[in-house]
Structure 1
Amino acid sequence: MIIRFRGKTGMYRVDVDDSDTFKSAVEKLKFQLPAHSDLKIALAPNAPGEGESEQWLSSLSQLGVRHGDLFFLTYGIETSNDSEHSISSPRQNDVAVDAVDTLLDGQDGKIPRQRSRLCNHGLKGMCEYCQPLEPYDEEYRLENNIKHLSFHSYIRKLKSESSIKNVLTEPDYTVNKNCSGGHLPWPAGICSKCQPAAISLQQQRFRMVDHLEFDNSTIMERFIEYWRQTNTQRFGILIGNYVQHDQVPLGIKAVVHAIYEPPQSDEFDGISFNEEMNVAAIKAANALNMHVVGILFTDLVDSGKKDGSVLCKRHSKSYFLSSLEVVLAARSQLAYPSRTKYSDSGVFSSKLVTCVVSGNELGEIAISCYQVSVQTEAMVRADIVAPSTNPSVLKVREATHERYVPEIFYKHSNEYNITVQENAKPAFPVDYALVSVSHGFKDATNGGLLNNFAIENRPSLKTPSATQLAAQLELESGINVINLLDFHLLYFLFDLKVLSDEDERLLCRLLKAEQEDLASPVTQELASMFATCPGIGTLRVLAQ
């Protein structure tokens, strides 16, 4: 039977049995009520209510409660200051976004056009044939072979179609366990309000990063050299920053200045590693005013021809990223979310790029860069997809009492070249998860950072030492501050733990001043102070 409760926030209905206690009915009611306090129940609208008592332990039949009976509630509504702050912060532009996002957000992004033969106005006039185009213009994108909209062009497109400010919403494929639909929380109950909608897989039309650029070719050469010497695979974390990409309207480019190699167990056909940055790596990146922009791994197999060629394993008829690598990319992106003021949560997707070094169809070593879609991030977050033994497909997990799996569909062309929709269970192609990213190397021969010091966590090759560090810094004659601009050197210096907190702060000030103006008096003064600090004195002793 159903009994009803009327309160200040509406009418509530609870489904119960005659044998249920009144207390169990109230417990079901509480799932529907908003956050409240001091709940009291009365039989009449203006009668004084009563709180929990011994009568509540009696069954409904014993109390004479019948189908359709109405009770009246009094309670206080609880408010949370934290919720107010969490809602207002993104809308008040309090989200600390990346510098490149602030830069692009301040630009109009319009694409200028020259006068054409169809223009019938003067030099200072403008018409539909020469007025600037919006950054998301579809014809311009197709004519210039731009595969995806840039992130900020996508935002402009959404804003042109909606009047709300927070136009970005990340999909959520989990069940809402705080549903107000009048039932027990899942898995005991579910309704259309709390269950996620069916997922229709689509190729993502935009990308968070449009291009990845290596500061110089030496960075990649030193990374691949490990495979050449050991014939085992290698994993790295890309350290750099984000800047504007001029080749795409309102585009973003990730510039890689160094590759951090965490501790790992290398094998001929795989890698075991911990993708998290340790304290020394974080300090080195922060000291250079850089952060994580991507991950990188090798998948190289020598062709056996003894000419330096490698096997081509990844192509259109096999896969570009395996299902295991797609899940790794999604988890990495979830670990480094992109902050934005156009989302209620203050974050949306990620700018992290996944790079794989493998053989191309010509037998050459080539780099390919990808991101995974926002849909894929949400499916991995909800734990509804998993890697499979077939690297070209992602497996859809089975539903359990702890995991709700919505229906997943995708469209493809069948053997008659007709577009059909299919259920993604038990698996679907990984191509629906991928967003390709272009890459390249800087034109300049010399990058912003040095890359001369021994690379960390390579026990089978040359390992860095305090003596090598002292020689690199030329401590016998003072200190060579130019050589401090080396991520691997800074990593080893921080990992030695010879610098105090005060010494580390002094080093960060020195690096900032050096990057602004090496020859300035401030830089020279800070260099003299750092050369005589206690931590450098300890390093001199260790080097002996």
Structure 2
Amino acid sequence: MTKTIIRVQSPEGTKRVDVYESDTLSSLYDKIHHEFDIDESRRNEWTLYSDRNKNLPISHSKSTRALEIVSHGDIIYLFQSAPIANPDLDHGEEDDVDAELAKQDGLISRDRDPQLCHHGPSGKCIHCVPVESYDLDYLKKINPSIKYISFNAYLKKLHEGGNKAKYLSLENLNCKIKPGCKEHPAWPKGICNKCQPPTIYLNQQVYRHVDNIMFENGQIVEKFLNYWRRSGNQRVGFLFGRYEAYDGIPLGIKAVVSAIYEPPQITTESSVQLELPDPNEEKVFAMAKKLGLKCVGWIFTDLLRDDTGKGVVKHYRGDAKTFFLSSDECIMAGYFQNKFKNYSRYSSDGYFGSKFVTVVVTGDSNNQIHFEGYQVSNQCASLVRDECIIPTYDVPQLAYIRESSNEKYIPDVYFREKDQYNNEVTKIARPLPVEYLILDLPAAFAKEPTYTFNEGNLAKEPFPIENRADIGESQDFNSLKSYMKQFPPYRFIDAMSDFHLLIFLVTNQTVSIESTIDTLLDAIKSKNAQKANEWAKTPEWSTIEHFLVEGTSTVMVEEWQCEMCTYLNEDTFNECQMCQTPRIRN
């Protein structure tokens, strides 16, 4: 059988492919896909061309002979085309900040070195030419040094740097057996190289999806911390804000926090249990979206009062001698990062990693309240998603990789560390120090305070925060009446520009304002007082004003019955006010 040899050129290099008389264009594609090791699920993303300028595409025809198109010694070209939309994949919208940074080169300017540069002021040499945003060796030498490159700098590195010849494609780590393999019985009776997930070697992630966390003003966290100050119990909240470009690192991103939402939770001095599912989550998130905000992270306290007189709180975490995040907290952070994905055009799944951040409020080495920011690595998030990792019982800084069972196959996970002789050794992750999973990032307050919502000093008695009935703060029409008395009519928009008040308005079950709330939210977003005053004339607000004038005795208050003692409690309480039995939500 006559054999014809052609060359196929791609961004990854050139390879020879044998073509026979019996080959069709379809089988030619199959050969080339195999030669370049292109995954079967992504083969529709690649197209062959007869010319380098992509003017003459080669079809996938099963009837046309390949030798009718190509001849011995020809060069054809393989290029990646736009991915075909798949409704089963999770394709969301990329954040605006990613689109903004993608247009920038990210080059780091350097001044002329008076000792090393021997050219004129307008010249450039190796000592002063701009440096790429992903040059980590240079970033570590500057003052202050930069430990991680930004995610968009990482994309530049893949696209333009040392891997210039590689395809820019981001792949999410898979820790599960690929379903549908027909070459053997299902696990645990069989497994093969095609369906078995690869062995995982944990590496320190060189980039961060978010490089800085900035609270718009100190009042945001002061309100959050007041719960701990009044009760002594820990607290969890969700951070709502936006992502913006951050100039502290080349092509960096910062999470700007405008408000904190406190979901239903049961708290003690040493623990927090979220009451899931949160019945108001969908309404709160929808409201935030209309205000131009999104959930950018979560925050929790780990504070103990210091009775020794050294400071305000005890210091027992947050450095190399203690721990940064516990394994429980790493797993929870991984859960949230999987829930709040970072959408990316460069991933076949439609997403890669997450911008969701973790903020810990704890005591520093000076026994003062301190804020620490973290993310977990993409490897950690994948291990959490595929249920491969669990916490240890008594050592917070250690996690544990599950072992395979008849119900589930778990791939081997390894990490590298130095032994007592300073030799690098590989160990299986049972147990696993969580420091291999953590990325730290600074959390601070804006130098010039800004306010998406009203300033706290506008009202001596701010509107109560949601889900705080256990410390005597209730969101109801009585509290709304007291709050509104502090604002004259011409400052209606200032009164409404309160995140927690808006939550009450959209979640209360007495007066529905869903049909008109968009007008108010748009007025607050654009700070349009006239538009807010127009909303104040709607029937919905008139009904609310009626309750404020007449009193709230006519308002129906929903109740729930304790399953232990049958006492009827108001809906705002999360535990029985008679016997303290936790509420069980159906």
TM surpasses 0.5: yes
- Contact kept in structure 1, 2:244 and 2:253, CA below 8 Å: yes
Q: Residues 91-121 of structure 1, C-alpha deviation per residue, up to 9 Å, x if partnerless?
A: xxx8521111111111111111222334444
- Contact kept in structure 1, 2:506 and 2:514, CA below 8 Å: no
Q: How does 1:169-208 map to 2 (within 5 A)?
A: 169-179=171-181, 182-208=183-209
Q: Residues 301-334 of structure 1, C-alpha deviation per residue, up to 9 Å, x if partnerless?
A: 1222356522222132231111111110000110
Residue among 167, 170, 176 paired with 2:169: 167
Counterpart for residue 12 of structure 2: none
Counterpart for residue 21 of structure 1: none
Which residue identity lines up with residue 409 of structure 1 in the other structure? Answer: Y
Residue among 535, 543, 564 paired with 1:538: 543
> Which structure's residues are more often helix, by fraction?
1
Question: Is the counterpart of residue 505 in structure 1 residue 518 in structure 2?
Answer: yes
Q: Distance in 2 between matches of 1:505 and 1:453?
A: 21
Q: How does 1:232-381 map to 2 (within 5 A)?
A: 232-274=233-275, 278-305=281-308, 309-314=312-317, 315-381=319-385
Q: Distance in 1 between matches of 2:413 and 2:205?
A: 16
Residue among 485, 490, 495 paired with 2:502: 490
Comparing 532-541 and 466-475, the one that deviates more: 466-475
Q: Residues 128-152 of structure 1, C-alpha deviation per residue, up to 9 Å, x if partnerless?
A: 3322111011232111310111110
Q: Distance in 2 between matches of 1:513 and 1:406?
A: 51
Post-superposition offset of 1:341: 1.0
RCO higher in 1 or 2 (8 Å CA, sep ≥ 6)? 1
Post-superposition offset of 1:201: 1.2
Which residue identity lines up with residue 504 of structure 1 in the other structure? Answer: I
Q: Residues 154-199 of structure 1, C-alpha deviation per residue, up to 9 Å, x if partnerless?
A: 111111214455421111111112236x223433321112111111
Counterpart for residue 440 of structure 1: 444
Report SS of the residue matched to 2:85.
helix
Residue among 101, 104, 107 paired with 1:107: 104
Aligned length: 453
Q: Residues 381-434 of structure 1, C-alpha deviation per residue, up to 9 Å, x if partnerless?
A: 111110111211101112112211111111112223322111222x11111110
Question: Is the counterpart of residue 142 in structure 1 residue 140 in structure 2?
Answer: yes
Question: Is the counterpart of residue 116 in structure 1 residue 113 in structure 2?
Answer: yes
Q: Residues 317-354 of structure 1, C-alpha deviation per residue, up to 9 Å, x if partnerless?
A: 23111111111000011010011111111101111111
- Contact kept in structure 2, 1:499 and 1:536, CA below 8 Å: no
Q: Distance in 1 between matches of 2:282 and 2:186?
A: 41
Report SS of the residue matched to 1:178.
coil
Post-superposition offset of 1:125: 3.7
- Contact kept in structure 1, 2:524 and 2:532, CA below 8 Å: no
Shift of the 378–279 alpha-carbon distance from structure 1 to 2, 3 Å rule, reads: closer
Counterpart for residue 413 of structure 1: 418
- TM-score of the superposition, structure 1-length normalised? 0.78
Post-superposition offset of 1:462: 2.5
Counterpart for residue 555 of structure 2: none
Q: Distance in 2 between matches of 1:330 and 1:225?
A: 28
Which residue identity lines up with residue 474 of structure 2 in the other structure? Answer: T
Report SS of the residue matched to 1:502.
coil
Post-superposition offset of 1:87: 9.2
Q: Distance in 1 between matches of 2:423 and 2:89?
A: 48
Q: Distance in 2 between matches of 1:355 and 1:477?
A: 38
Post-superposition offset of 1:534: 1.1
Q: Distance in 2 between matches of 1:298 and 1:510?
A: 34
Q: Distance in 2 between matches of 1:88 and 1:464?
A: 41
- Contact kept in structure 2, 1:202 and 1:410, CA below 8 Å: yes
Q: Distance in 2 between matches of 1:527 and 1:88?
A: 41
Post-superposition offset of 1:465: 2.8
Residue among 468, 474, 477 paired with 1:458: 468
Q: Residues 268-289 of structure 1, C-alpha deviation per residue, up to 9 Å, x if partnerless?
A: 1101114756234224312321
Q: Distance in 1 between matches of 2:381 and 2:89?
A: 24
Report SS of the residue matched to 2:237.
strand
- Contact kept in structure 1, 2:158 and 2:168, CA below 8 Å: no
Which residue identity lines up with residue 408 of structure 1 in the other structure? Answer: V
Report SS of the residue matched to 2:219.
helix
Which residue identity lines up with residue 416 of structure 1 in the other structure? Answer: Y
Counterpart for residue 19 of structure 1: none
- Contact kept in structure 1, 2:333 and 2:376, CA below 8 Å: yes
Shift of the 211–257 alpha-carbon distance from structure 1 to 2, 3 Å rule, reads: same
Report SS of the residue matched to 1:86.
coil
Question: Is the counterpart of residue 128 in structure 1 residue 141 in structure 2?
Answer: no
Counterpart for residue 398 of structure 1: 403
**Long gaps (5+) in structure 1:** 1-7, 11-31, 33-82
**Long gaps (5+) in structure 2:** 1-23, 28-39, 41-82, 457-461, 550-586
Shift of the 476–423 alpha-carbon distance from structure 1 to 2, 3 Å rule, reads: closer
Which residue identity lines up with residue 153 of structure 1 in the other structure? Answer: A
- Contact kept in structure 2, 1:370 and 1:434, CA below 8 Å: yes
Q: Distance in 2 between matches of 1:131 and 1:163?
A: 24
- Contact kept in structure 1, 2:519 and 2:532, CA below 8 Å: no
Q: How does 1:22-61 map to 2 (within 5 A)?
A: none
Question: Is the counterpart of residue 154 in structure 1 residue 154 in structure 2?
Answer: yes
Counterpart for residue 98 of structure 1: 95
Q: Distance in 2 between matches of 1:123 and 1:88?
A: 57
Comparing 490-499 and 245-254, the one that deviates more: 490-499
Q: Residues 35-90 of structure 1, C-alpha deviation per residue, up to 9 Å, x if partnerless?
A: xxxxxxxxxxxxxxxxxxxxxxxxxxxxxxxxxxxxxxxxxxxxxxxx94229999
Shift of the 415–126 alpha-carbon distance from structure 1 to 2, 3 Å rule, reads: closer
Counterpart for residue 533 of structure 2: 528
Which residue identity lines up with residue 342 of structure 2 in the other structure? Answer: S
Post-superposition offset of 1:127: 3.0
Shift of the 446–252 alpha-carbon distance from structure 1 to 2, 3 Å rule, reads: closer
Shift of the 464–496 alpha-carbon distance from structure 1 to 2, 3 Å rule, reads: same
- Contact kept in structure 1, 2:506 and 2:513, CA below 8 Å: no
Which residue identity lines up with residue 360 of structure 2 in the other structure? Answer: V
Q: Distance in 2 between matches of 1:461 and 1:303?
A: 25
Report SS of the residue matched to 2:297.
strand
Counterpart for residue 567 of structure 2: none
Report SS of the residue matched to 1:454.
coil
- Contact kept in structure 2, 1:478 and 1:531, CA below 8 Å: no
Report SS of the residue matched to 2:447.
coil
What is the alpha-carbon root mean square deviation over aligned residues? 2.6
- Contact kept in structure 2, 1:456 and 1:464, CA below 8 Å: yes
- Contact kept in structure 2, 1:371 and 1:435, CA below 8 Å: yes
* Identity percentage of aligned residues: 34
Q: Residues 430-486 of structure 1, C-alpha deviation per residue, up to 9 Å, x if partnerless?
A: 111101011110112453322542211111132233243355456873661123222
Q: Distance in 1 between matches of 2:506 and 2:422?
A: 59
Post-superposition offset of 1:123: 4.4
- Contact kept in structure 2, 1:155 and 1:167, CA below 8 Å: no
- Contact kept in structure 2, 1:479 and 1:527, CA below 8 Å: no
